[in-house]
Copies of this chain bind each other. A is one copy, B any other.
Amino acid sequence: MQRVESEIARLIQEIDYDEVTRLFEMLSGGKRVRAKLILKIAEKSEKAPLLAAVVELIHAASLLHDDVIDESLTRRGVASVNAIHGSKTAIMLGDILYSKAFTELVDFDKDVAKVIAKSVTELSKGEMMDVKIAQAFNYDEKKYLDMLYLKTATLIESASIASALLVGKDAQKYAIYGKNLGLSFQIIDDILDITSDAKTLGKPVMNDFVEGKCTLPYIYLYHDLDKDDKNKLQNLHAKKHIDEELIWIKEKMLQHGCIEKSFALAKKLSHEAMQAVKEDVELVSILQTMIKRSY
């Protein structure tokens, strides 16, 4: 990972604008899940650290814009760039990181560059769908999962494909791995928003629903409720809740096994992912750790 961090630092230096260097240094790098994945899949390729750096810059840019769009004031436990420096700075910094990443992509083989570039369009489409879907109560599971795939899984999927291409591995298998890893990761994140506590999350509990996001447990719950309770749930959508309301939702979810059902889907997807790359012990263990995570 040291080589990835050096590559990232080099690319930021090449942007050649002290303001950008200063702002970028203030970002938390996060867990670098995508970079680690790329290094694992393409460890024999000399180009893996650069690809990992490029994908991490794209990911950082997408989070910068994401936080502006969601008006999030924190990111990875610290204040977001938009919270400290304003939305404008976050937009501009995101644009700079995106374009620098794309400039570096040009040096890769066309199929590698294309799959990564394409996934950025998918991810931006996903962001737009996410905002659109949150405008009303959504109880359509397929619609939700399609959006989730675009918004949170396509970049991991394309990073896996691109890494496989770098070393001549079977891209199809790694596509399944990346896609399902991304999806199950996000489903677990959505579950933790409900089951965890504010301190661990670094934000209020059940905040997704307040923001209008009907994640899987809410979708499952809706279908299991009777007509009156359906109405009650819909009326709570995209509003701040008092404790009784939170308790009501959680109790109903417990009663109908909505968390378990969501977790079962995450596990099913993870299992498919592990099957796809079963000969690759380290990739399997990444998923096992993820499924177990409690933050």
Which A residues are closer than 8 A to B by beta carbons?
15, 17, 19-20, 65, 68-69, 87-89, 91-93, 95-96, 98-100, 102-103, 105-107, 110, 113-114, 117-118, 120-121, 123-125, 127-129, 131-132
Output the nearest chain B residue to A112 by Cβ-Cβ distance: B106
Total copies of this chain within the assembly: 2
Q: Is the CB of B92 within 8 A of A127?
A: yes
Q: Is the CB of A118 within 8 A of B103?
A: yes
Q: Is the CB of B17 within 8 A of A95?
A: no
Chain B residues near A88: list those with CB within 8 A: 68-69, 131
Q: Is the CB of B117 within 8 A of A96?
A: no
Q: Is the CB of B99 within 8 A of A120?
A: yes
Q: Is the CB of B120 within 8 A of A91?
A: no
Q: Is the CB of B91 within 8 A of A103?
A: no
Chain B residues near A125: list those with CB within 8 A: 15, 17, 20, 96
Output the nearest chain B residue to A119 by Cβ-Cβ distance: B99
Contacts A17-B125, A110-B106 given; indicate if A65 touches B95 (C-beta within 8 A).
yes
Q: Which 4 A-B pairs have the closest CB atoms?
A: A99-B120, A95-B124, A103-B117, A99-B121
Interface centre among A98, A100, A103, A106 (most CB of B within 10 A): A106
Chain B residues near A92: list those with CB within 8 A: 65, 69, 124, 127-128, 131
Chain B residues near A65: list those with CB within 8 A: 91-92, 95
Output the nearest chain B residue to A102 by Cβ-Cβ distance: B102
Chain B residues near A121: list those with CB within 8 A: 15, 96, 99-100, 103
Chain B residues near A68: list those with CB within 8 A: 87-88, 91
A-B contact pairs, 12 of them (CB 8 A): A19-B132, A68-B87, A69-B88, A89-B128, A92-B128, A95-B127, A96-B128, A98-B98, A99-B117, A99-B118, A102-B105, A102-B120
